[in-house]
């Protein structure tokens, strides 16, 4: 039996490519995204009462990687990229049904011009199709006694420094509010692929319409340049 779903909304996110997106929600609280509801779901009735909740579950499609299929075993970055676990013991994007689930903070609900939710801390790519929104219910879903398996806590953070050039570019750029904090929180997560450690290498991450170029050496991420995205 097959089931088909259609998106109820679309994500507008500062993350313009996969590289640099945190591996789970809430790790980068400075990431603000807008979830725009699509017709016929963009009616104020569909979100009546939602603004009373502080957090929501977003079900979505891993639309950018869904054509790459799936494997029964995956290598989670948290295990260093070598050890394998079953796909259903992981949060891999490559799944039989390429659906994601993220718990995010609900900042506001707007019904003035269509319906849109302002969300914080999302791990979602720009253009992500959203299948469903559900309110988070703390007394049922918060389980401080739960075991986190091989993911036993937040990842260690890198220190982030800015070069003179990057500071100058930042001052000259017409970047959105909170951009510097977003850059710092994203780089502190260490976006490099597991077991890649080349202190000479220069990386670029796309945030809004900027290409943030940086290097990582000795536990420090250094912002080198903030350039307009190509």
Q: Applying CB under 6 A, which residues contact ligand SAM?
A: 18, 21-25, 62-65, 91, 93, 100-102, 123-125, 128
Q: Exposed (0-12), middle (13-18) or buried (19+): which is 3, by Cβ within 10 Å?
A: exposed
Of the two residues 117 and 125, which places its CB atom closer to ligand SAM in the complex?
125
DSSP annotation string for 47-70? GTTGGG-SEEEEEEE-TTTGGG--
- Cα–Cα nearest to 103, from 134, 149, 128: 134
Q: How far is the CB of 48 from ligand SAM (least distance, A)?
A: 27
Q: How far is CA 229 from the centre of its chain?
A: 19
H helices within the chain, ranges in order? 138-141, 164-172, 179-188
C-beta separation of 2 from 169 below 8 A: no
Closer of 23 and 134 to ligand SAM (Cβ): 23
CA distance 194 to 81: 5
* Cβ 99 to ligand SAM shortest distance, Å: 7
Nearer to ligand SAM, 132 or 163 (CB): 132
CA 208 to CA 199: how far, in whole Å?
Answer: 26
Enumerate residues 6+ apart whose C-beta is below 8 A from 111.
44, 47
Smallest gap from Cβ 124 to ligand SAM, in A, equals 5
Report, in Å, the least distance between residue 223 CB and ligand SAM: 20
Q: Please, what is the minimum distance in Å from the beta carbon of residue 112 to ligand SAM?
A: 27
Give the residue with the Cβ less far from ligand SAM, 93 or 110: 93
Q: Nearest approach, Cβ of 159 to ligand SAM (angstroms)?
A: 21
Alpha carbon distance 183, 173 (integer Å): 14
Nearer to ligand SAM, 21 or 166 (CB): 21
Distance from CA of residue 114 to its chain's centroid? 24
In the complex with ligand SAM, the residue whose CB is nearer, 38 or 111, is: 38
């Amino acid at each position: 039996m097959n089931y088909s779903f259609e998106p109820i909304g679309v994500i507008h996110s500062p993350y313009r490519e996969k590289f640099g997106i945190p591996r789970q929600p809430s790790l980068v609280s400075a990431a603000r995204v807008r979830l725009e509801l699509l017709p016929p779901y963009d009616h104020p009735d569909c979100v009546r009462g939602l603004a009373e909740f502080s957090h929501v579950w977003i079900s979505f499609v891993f639309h950018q990687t869904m054509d790459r299929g799936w494997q029964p075993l995956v290598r989670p970055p948290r295990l260093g990229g070598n050890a394998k676990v079953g796909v259903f013991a992981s949060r891999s994007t490559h799944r039989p049904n390429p659906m994601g689930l993220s718990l995010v903070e609900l900042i506001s609900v707007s019904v003035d011009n269509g319906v849109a939710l302002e969300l914080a801390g999302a791990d979602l790519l720009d253009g992500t199709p959203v299948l469903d929104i559900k309110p988070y219910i703390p007394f049922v879903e918060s389980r401080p006694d739960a075991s986190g398996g091989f993911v036993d806590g937040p990842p260690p953070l890198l220190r982030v420094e800015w070069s003179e050039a990057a500071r100058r570019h930042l001052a000259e750029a017409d970047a959105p509010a909170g951009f510097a904090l977003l850059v710092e929180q994203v780089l502190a997560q260490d976006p490099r692929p597991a077991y890649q450690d080349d202190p000479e290498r220069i990386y670029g991450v796309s945030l809004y319409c900027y290409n943030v170029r940086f290097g990582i050496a000795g536990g420090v991420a250094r912002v080198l340049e903030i350039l307009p995205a190509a």
